[in-house]
Amino acid sequence: ACNKHNIQHDTSCKAFSLNSDLIKHLRTHTGEKSYQYSQCYMAFSQRTTLISHHRTHSGEKPYQCCQCDQAFSLTISIIYHMRTHTGEKPYQCRQCEKAFLQNSDLIKHMRIHTREKTCQYNLCDKAFSMNCYLIKHVRTHTGEKTYQCRQCDKAF
Protein backbone atom coordinates (compact mmCIF):
# COMPACT_ATOMS: atom_id res chain seq x y z
CA ALA A 1 0.00 0.00 0.00
CA CYS A 2 1.14 3.53 -0.75
CA ASN A 3 0.15 4.96 2.61
CA LYS A 4 2.02 8.22 2.01
CA HIS A 5 -0.41 8.90 -0.84
CA ASN A 6 -3.40 7.41 1.00
CA ILE A 7 -4.00 4.91 -1.81
CA GLN A 8 -4.33 1.17 -1.55
CA HIS A 9 -1.82 -0.05 -4.09
CA ASP A 10 -2.13 -3.34 -5.96
CA THR A 11 0.94 -5.54 -5.45
CA SER A 12 1.14 -6.18 -9.20
CA CYS A 13 2.05 -2.53 -9.86
CA LYS A 14 5.52 -1.53 -10.94
CA ALA A 15 8.41 -0.09 -8.95
CA PHE A 16 9.63 3.35 -9.99
CA SER A 17 13.12 4.83 -9.75
CA LEU A 18 11.84 8.42 -10.00
CA ASN A 19 9.29 9.87 -7.60
CA SER A 20 7.73 11.83 -10.50
CA ASP A 21 7.06 8.54 -12.33
CA LEU A 22 5.38 7.13 -9.22
CA ILE A 23 3.18 10.22 -8.95
CA LYS A 24 2.15 9.90 -12.62
CA HIS A 25 1.40 6.22 -12.07
CA LEU A 26 -0.69 6.86 -8.96
CA ARG A 27 -2.96 9.10 -11.05
CA THR A 28 -4.01 6.01 -13.01
CA HIS A 29 -5.50 4.70 -9.76
CA THR A 30 -7.06 7.93 -8.51
CA GLY A 31 -8.35 9.16 -11.85
CA GLU A 32 -6.88 12.59 -11.07
CA LYS A 33 -6.67 14.75 -14.18
CA SER A 34 -4.99 17.99 -13.20
CA TYR A 35 -4.13 19.18 -16.74
CA GLN A 36 -7.19 20.74 -18.34
CA TYR A 37 -7.37 22.01 -21.92
CA SER A 38 -9.26 25.29 -22.12
CA GLN A 39 -10.52 25.01 -25.72
CA CYS A 40 -12.54 21.84 -25.29
CA TYR A 41 -12.49 21.29 -21.52
CA MET A 42 -10.87 17.87 -21.76
CA ALA A 43 -8.63 16.97 -18.83
CA PHE A 44 -5.57 14.74 -18.65
CA SER A 45 -3.48 13.09 -15.96
CA GLN A 46 -0.18 13.93 -17.67
CA ARG A 47 1.18 17.18 -19.09
CA THR A 48 2.59 15.41 -22.15
CA THR A 49 -0.88 14.08 -23.01
CA LEU A 50 -2.27 17.62 -22.78
CA ILE A 51 0.42 18.85 -25.19
CA SER A 52 -0.37 16.01 -27.60
CA HIS A 53 -4.08 16.81 -27.40
CA HIS A 54 -3.39 20.48 -28.18
CA ARG A 55 -1.94 19.34 -31.51
CA THR A 56 -5.32 17.88 -32.52
CA HIS A 57 -6.73 21.40 -32.31
CA SER A 58 -3.75 23.27 -33.76
CA GLY A 59 -3.02 20.79 -36.55
CA GLU A 60 0.67 20.89 -35.60
CA LYS A 61 2.59 17.85 -36.85
CA PRO A 62 6.19 18.20 -35.68
CA TYR A 63 7.29 14.63 -36.47
CA GLN A 64 8.10 14.10 -40.14
CA CYS A 65 9.00 10.86 -41.86
CA CYS A 66 12.37 11.09 -43.57
CA GLN A 67 11.35 8.51 -46.19
CA CYS A 68 8.01 9.80 -47.45
CA ASP A 69 7.55 13.27 -45.88
CA GLN A 70 4.33 12.29 -44.11
CA ALA A 71 3.98 14.26 -40.84
CA PHE A 72 2.53 13.26 -37.47
CA SER A 73 1.41 14.97 -34.29
CA LEU A 74 2.48 12.16 -31.94
CA THR A 75 5.84 10.45 -31.55
CA ILE A 76 4.15 7.06 -31.28
CA SER A 77 2.42 7.67 -34.63
CA ILE A 78 5.71 8.13 -36.46
CA ILE A 79 7.13 5.04 -34.74
CA TYR A 80 4.21 2.95 -36.03
CA HIS A 81 4.47 4.64 -39.44
CA MET A 82 8.19 3.85 -39.77
CA ARG A 83 7.33 0.18 -39.33
CA THR A 84 5.36 0.36 -42.60
CA HIS A 85 8.64 1.25 -44.32
CA THR A 86 10.78 -1.33 -42.52
CA GLY A 87 8.19 -4.10 -42.53
CA GLU A 88 8.74 -4.61 -38.80
CA LYS A 89 5.83 -6.28 -37.02
CA PRO A 90 7.04 -6.82 -33.45
CA TYR A 91 3.78 -8.12 -31.95
CA GLN A 92 3.24 -11.76 -32.86
CA CYS A 93 0.32 -14.04 -32.07
CA ARG A 94 1.49 -17.14 -30.21
CA GLN A 95 -1.37 -19.22 -31.56
CA CYS A 96 -1.20 -18.60 -35.30
CA GLU A 97 2.08 -16.71 -35.86
CA LYS A 98 0.33 -13.67 -37.40
CA ALA A 99 2.28 -10.47 -36.67
CA PHE A 100 1.18 -6.87 -36.13
CA LEU A 101 2.59 -3.34 -36.14
CA GLN A 102 0.83 -2.38 -32.91
CA ASN A 103 0.09 -4.25 -29.70
CA SER A 104 -3.51 -3.00 -29.81
CA ASP A 105 -3.99 -4.82 -33.13
CA LEU A 106 -2.63 -8.03 -31.59
CA ILE A 107 -5.05 -7.67 -28.67
CA LYS A 108 -7.99 -7.29 -31.09
CA HIS A 109 -6.74 -10.27 -33.10
CA MET A 110 -6.51 -12.47 -29.98
CA ARG A 111 -10.29 -12.17 -29.59
CA ILE A 112 -10.59 -14.45 -32.63
CA HIS A 113 -8.82 -17.22 -30.71
CA THR A 114 -10.50 -16.59 -27.34
CA ARG A 115 -13.91 -16.02 -28.95
CA GLU A 116 -14.25 -12.95 -26.71
CA LYS A 117 -16.99 -10.67 -28.01
CA THR A 118 -16.70 -7.15 -26.62
CA CYS A 119 -18.76 -5.27 -29.23
CA GLN A 120 -22.47 -5.73 -28.62
CA TYR A 121 -25.49 -4.39 -30.51
CA ASN A 122 -28.22 -3.59 -28.01
CA LEU A 123 -31.18 -3.84 -30.40
CA CYS A 124 -30.73 -7.55 -31.07
CA ASP A 125 -28.17 -8.57 -28.42
CA LYS A 126 -25.70 -9.91 -30.98
CA ALA A 127 -22.05 -9.56 -30.01
CA PHE A 128 -18.88 -9.43 -32.11
CA SER A 129 -15.15 -9.73 -31.53
CA MET A 130 -14.34 -6.53 -33.46
CA ASN A 131 -16.07 -3.22 -33.98
CA CYS A 132 -15.86 -3.53 -37.78
CA TYR A 133 -18.02 -6.68 -37.60
CA LEU A 134 -20.53 -4.86 -35.41
CA ILE A 135 -20.75 -1.98 -37.91
CA LYS A 136 -21.35 -4.45 -40.74
CA HIS A 137 -24.11 -6.12 -38.72
CA VAL A 138 -25.81 -2.81 -37.86
CA ARG A 139 -26.12 -2.18 -41.60
CA THR A 140 -28.32 -5.29 -41.87
CA HIS A 141 -30.76 -3.51 -39.56
CA THR A 142 -30.52 -0.04 -41.10
CA GLY A 143 -30.42 -1.16 -44.73
CA GLU A 144 -27.45 1.15 -45.33
CA LYS A 145 -25.55 0.23 -48.48
CA THR A 146 -22.01 1.60 -48.45
CA TYR A 147 -20.64 0.09 -51.65
CA GLN A 148 -21.78 1.50 -54.97
CA CYS A 149 -21.03 0.30 -58.49
CA ARG A 150 -19.38 3.06 -60.54
CA GLN A 151 -20.86 1.80 -63.79
CA CYS A 152 -24.54 1.39 -62.91
CA ASP A 153 -24.93 3.16 -59.52
CA LYS A 154 -26.37 0.03 -57.89
CA ALA A 155 -25.55 -0.05 -54.16
CA PHE A 156 -24.66 -3.04 -52.00
H-only helix segments in 15-143: 19-30, 47-58, 75-86, 103-114, 131-142
In words, the CATH class of domain 35-86 is alpha beta
* Average pLDDT value for the chain: 81
pLDDT in tens, 87-102: 999 999 999 989 999 8
Q: Which of 12-21, 64-73, 77-86, 90-99 has the lowest mean pLDDT?
A: 12-21
CA–CA distance from 119 to each of 19, 88, 108, 112, 142 (Å)? 39, 29, 11, 13, 18
Task: Taking residues 99-107, report their average pLDDT.
Answer: 91
Is 113 a residue whose pLDDT tops 80? yes
Torsion of CA 11, 92, 112, 105, to 10 degrees: 80
* pLDDT on residue 2: 42
Is 51 a residue whose pLDDT tops 60? yes
Tell me the pTM: 0.51
Domain residue ranges in the chain:
35-86
Percentage of the chain lying above the pLDDT 90 cut: 25
pLDDT in tens, 1-48: 343 444 444 445 667 777 777 877 777 778 788 888 888 878 888 888
